[in-house]
Amino acid sequence: MPAVTCGKSRSRKLEGIYITHFMEQVLQHSSKNNGISNHEDEHTLLRLIADGLPASRDSKLFIKDLHFDEVPVRIYLPRVPSANKRRGVLVFHGGCGIFGSIRSHERICRHIARKSDSVVVSVGYRLSPDHKYPAQTLDCLAATVHFLKTAENYGVDPDRIIICGDSAGGTFTASVCQELANRRDIPKIRAQVLIYPLLQALNFNLPSHQKNGFIAFLSQERAVYFVLKYLNKDCSMKEAILAGSHVPESINLKYRKWINPDLIPEVFRLDYKPPLPTSFLPQVHEETKELFETRFSPLLAEDAVVCCLPDTCIITCEHDVLRDDGLLYKKRLEDNNIKVTWHHIQEGFHCALGFFGYGIFSFPSSSKIVNHTVNFIKGY
């Protein structure tokens, strides 16, 4: 049975949805008032909002800004001396690869460092569309390899390094762990934490896409829009991708064993309606071939890679279009005998983690996600 976290009442469960809907309206209103139309410069406003307010000083941590192989990082070291080498935690922030930053996850990283007595490294990877895909994943990979090689310089046991990421950061986490799975020249990643990750871009009509199609912040339509924006593609292809017209039948048949509504537990398929068949559009497929790379869609990795992955914690949220990506990856990992810890936040929604540490603006689901993450990390 999953570790399911339930809210106290239906009204409380939906509180986050109402507030995120309100904030979405504020975002759209601000965009119009600032002359931002057709989402052309929306990422600029999103970056400003996502960065939030600066955190206050922290007497329990040494905090340093460094570069790992030319990638900006911020490292959080507990001030209290440790008799043994500490575990290390790499954090890849979310934000669709377009926004988010070291600053946006400042409160989260500080909390993880303090509560788990770990050395935390927050990675400031380059953002799209300023820096084209796959610069984001490559930055995360470079910073990870550097940390694995130099961990002892920071009082970290190189055999106790964990990677953690939310949303697109979860995508980068899964991708980096896959790319390093069979490396023999560096220590192995000990574990990974995937918080409502995007793990595939073949099917945007899974049960969670239908159920949460109009949820604020990351609706079904916005998810595809952000995917195209991240890849610097023409967003007019959005409807074709929503319909699945970018996927040839041969690829659908090949990956049906891994991306299929029938693989999702029945309790998550209530009221699901299979979409109507659509025509394949070769031009759209040619324009979006990156969607079929395992670097972008880790669910497509072969079993020879998946079976070598580290212990994994997957956190899914009920009110999230990406919920089923996490559920499908959970099954893939378990089918390959990988140890999986799964937490499902019944009242949770996409972006809930971003509210952590903001007092009355922080939701119970925000704290639950962080607490589950800390407790998992402490097990290593």
Residue 4's beta-bridge partner residues? 344
Cα dihedral across residues 229, 50, 142, 170: positive or negative:
negative
pLDDT mean across residues, the chain: 90
From the list 246, 343, 344, 350, the catalytic residue is 350
Look at 38 and 255; give whichever has higher pLDDT: 255
Cis before 129? omega within 30: yes
Angle, helices 364-378 vs 106-116, to 10°: value is 40
Please report the pLDDT score of residue 51 as a whole number: 64
Is residue 256 pLDDT above 60, yes or no? yes
Question: Which of these ranges, 7-21, 154-168, 190-204, 280-294, has the smallest mean pLDDT?
Answer: 7-21
Please report the pLDDT score of residue 1 as a whole number: 41
Burial class of 360 by CB neighbour count within 10 A (0 to 12, 13 to 18, 19+): exposed
**Number of Cβ within a 10 Å radius of residue 194:** 30
DSSP SS3 for 274: coil
Structure tokens of 357?
């540490």
**Cα angle, residue 101 at apex, residues 228 and 63 outer, rounded to 5°:** 160
pLDDT in tens, 59-95: 899 999 999 999 999 999 999 999 999 999 999 999 9
Q: Is 320 a catalytic residue?
A: yes
Half-sphere exposure of 209 (CA within 13 A, CB side): 22
From the list 167, 245, 365, 366, the catalytic residue is 167
Across 139-163, average pLDDT? 98
From the list 139, 166, 311, 320, the catalytic residue is 320
Is-above-0.75 flag for pTM? yes
Structure tokens of 231?
């890849």
Across 141-155, average pLDDT? 98
